[in-house]
A and B are shown apart, each in its own frame.
Chain A
């Protein structure tokens, strides 16, 4: 069956260097001396650690719980003891550290109790949740949580499901070997994705330099009676980029700032389909992956490696040549030198290349751009790398965005073809991270401004409220005083005037004071004294309601002593009003 293929613009053909590592079948890497499992191994929220130092874990036990929907769980790759939950250097170009769970294997490799997932009777939501709990993420390199991509768009009909087996980067052969040896599980995994997304067509794209893999996949598709179409695409870097493969297989071009889902296309890596099926069929979460060990080694090969294995230990299996001076994670086009050889293998690690100057001679110094336009011809995204370069170099970041810097997939084609050996991608990465940093700063400043303005508004409001309250209290006080004065005046005045009741005196409207001011003052003082007296009389010793006999006696003793000392006058449990204070006041 022939299918019409499309082309993407640009692309390069670097030496593939794939045959070295495909001669031997996949081997299992031994359990290393120590496993450092990073918690943040996928795009999205960092999983929360659920183990502590000193805990014993079994193989496949949950150690990091997914935080939010776009996040995937992390599991213990073998049984052993958790030695530490702390910060360790990551396989990241920055060489900075992040939270990891360190496990010392006990050598027994004992599985936690697990059972196959009842896929036939599960709802789609249950399957998605199960994949999240099993830590299934995109193993093509972007490590996007797979369950997040398994919901079809509600507005656009799902046309094509693309399975990416192109594996276009030089040196990397892990997907090739996976398809050769485990094609049936891959196809079953694709079946799961098909059931969830219900696409009209399923296309499996494999570069035509992997005929064995394509044949194995075709055989598996036929054996399982599926309607998937295995398509061999021309070998051209970066045909394995999601947008490029979609273009080649469907002719659809994913526009800038849109996702392929918006066009009714979804793309998954073959290894992702494989791990999804393994999780469903066996109940085993993602705790290992295939890694190609190649480059400056004597025995290049593909290994099934536990996540968290130190890269140095894994590279030793390939017997690196003595002049090896570093490890590249990923391929030579998009990979990077890891900070040291203790960093762990993570879910995104598809290949380790032993680096040596013989294999990758140091680049000659960068020369000025001669505006030849070779980079624009090579760019698979039809960008203008030279424009991006000038503006990024001049830190003219607004302009780089006008030239769509965020559409750049950092494939490295432009740097590969540049006759002046300009590290173009590095300039683009620099510009991108500067733009992101500015965006973060801008958001922080905006938020601070809003909070500052709100605080000022609140302070003003509180001030106003306080002033209003004070004014009200002052007005009430004045009214009360005037009312009291009037009441007393009324009492002192000839009896024919009816005395106003004291409750009326608390009314808001002050009664007009008819007496001279002197009288009013005197009356006010007298009233205040009367109030004080009444208060004193009302005062009682506290907590004396429920006394037992002992306590009452004790109290009486104390009173007696105080009386002897002449501190107070004799007092019964309910003291009579003492008039000493009143006398003093008079």
Chain B
């Protein structure tokens, strides 16, 4: 009799826990792959396709599946590779392509013929214009992906390197000098 009771209790426990687990698997189902999202958050979202995938998300998916290396994203730079390596526990590898400074596309508005080809090529809709009307780039939205360069029939788009200005200037890492150097301040003209 005791053994039957024990079996019944165990069976009841199994049924209850099984039901709880089943419910949890439906209720707390994880949509999408959280790893892909984490990888995507590290990628610079330039959508340039330099990695060989059509956008940052496909590249992130490929990394998550282990189909490709983590050093294919030049806009992310070595820092991006480092952070991906930290996230995935993989080896840090040097970048496949050379690292470029941040750029922005500029349309020479005198040469532009208004063909709209660059508008179609821009992955982030950062070019405004209409057929036979001058086009121009919204510099703040431009990711510097260079995808507008090849379709332009009159080669009126160029890439400008973003220069530092007072707003985006950064304090530099303090350098420890072994021997104090002569300071770089300009001497006063009439002081002498």
Contacts and interface: CB of A to CB of B under 8 A. Distances in A.
Given A365-B178, A429-B171, A448-B143, A90 B166 contact: yes
A92 B165 CA distance: 11
B3 interface: no
Contact of A320 (B143, B164, B178, B191): B191
Contacts of A199: none
Nearest to B40: A449
B29 to A, nearest CB: 23
A426 B177 CA distance: 14
Contacts of A366: 174, 176
Contacts of B174: 366, 423, 426-427, 430
Contact of A446 (B45, B141, B168): B45
A341 B188 contact: yes
B183 A326 contact: yes
A451 B124 contact: yes
Interface in B39-62: 40, 43-47, 55-56
B125 interface: yes
Interface stretch (A2-10, A433-441, A543-551): A433-441
B189 A94 contact: no
A288 to B, nearest CB: 23
Interface in A276-322: 312, 315-316, 320-322
B28 interface: no
B34 interface: no
B188 A320 contact: yes
A503 to B, nearest CB: 38
A341 B143 CA distance: 38
Interface in B151-171: 164-166, 168-171
Contact of B180 (A97, A323, A363): A363
Q: How large is the interface on B (under 10, 10 to 19, 20 to 34, 35 or more residues)?
A: 35 or more
B172 interface: yes
A355 to B, nearest CB: 7
B165 A96 contact: yes
Nearest to A311: B188
B190 A340 contact: no
B4 interface: no
A110 to B, nearest CB: 30
A16 interface: no
Given A432-B171, A445-B44, A448-B143, A455 B123 contact: yes
Choose among B165, B189, B190 the residue with the greatest number of A CB atoms under 10 Å from its CB: B190
A427 B46 CA distance: 31
B55 A430 contact: no
A58 to B, nearest CB: 29
Contacts of A455: 123-125
Nearest to B169: A94
> In terms of DSSP, what is the predominant structure of the interface of chain B?
loop
B20 interface: no
A443 to B, nearest CB: 11
Contacts of A92: 166, 169
Contacts of B192: 322
B24 interface: no
B63 interface: no
B124 A448 contact: yes
A441 B171 contact: no
A365 B47 CA distance: 46
Contacts of B185: 325-327, 337, 339-340, 355
A15 interface: no
Interface string A319-337: 0111111110000000001
B186 interface: yes
A319 to B, nearest CB: 10
A119 interface: no
Interface string B92-134: 0000000000000000000000000000000111100000000
A324 B187 CA distance: 7
Contacts, number: 113
Nearest to B54: A456
B123 A452 contact: yes
A557 to B, nearest CB: 37
A452 B142 CA distance: 11
A440 B124 CA distance: 17
B191 A322 contact: yes
A67 to B, nearest CB: 14
A69 interface: no
Contacts of B46: 448
Interface string A82-108: 000000001011101110000000000
Nearest to B123: A452
Nearest to B185: A326
Contact of A437 (B123, B165, B168): B168
Given A326-B183, A363-B180, A365-B177, A449 B166 contact: no
Q: Which of A316, A430, A449 neighbours the largest number of chain B CB atoms within 10 Å of its CB?
A: A449
A430 B171 contact: yes
Contacts of B171: 93, 426, 429-430, 432-433
A468 interface: no
B134 to A, nearest CB: 21
Contacts of A444: 45, 143
Given A445-B45, A452-B124, A325 B164 contact: no
A68 interface: no
A323 to B, nearest CB: 8
A447 interface: yes
Contact of A441 (B44, B55, B177): B44
A362 interface: yes
Contacts of A323: 191
B183 A365 contact: no
B186 to A, nearest CB: 4
Contacts of A429: 171
Contacts of B164: 94, 96
A363 B190 CA distance: 27
Contacts of A327: 185, 188
Contacts of A426: 171, 174
Interface of A: 40, 90, 92-94, 96-98, 312, 315-316, 320-327, 337, 339-341, 355, 362-366, 423, 426-427, 429-430, 432-434, 436-437, 440-441, 444-449, 451-452, 454-456
20 contacts: A312-B189, A325-B188, A326-B183, A326-B187, A340-B185, A355-B185, A363-B180, A365-B177, A430-B173, A433-B169, A433-B171, A434-B170, A437-B168, A441-B44, A445-B45, A448-B46, A448-B124, A449-B45, A451-B126, A454-B125
Given A324-B188, A441-B44, A448-B47, 6 more contacts: A324-B191, A426-B174, A430-B173, A436-B170, A451-B125, A454-B125
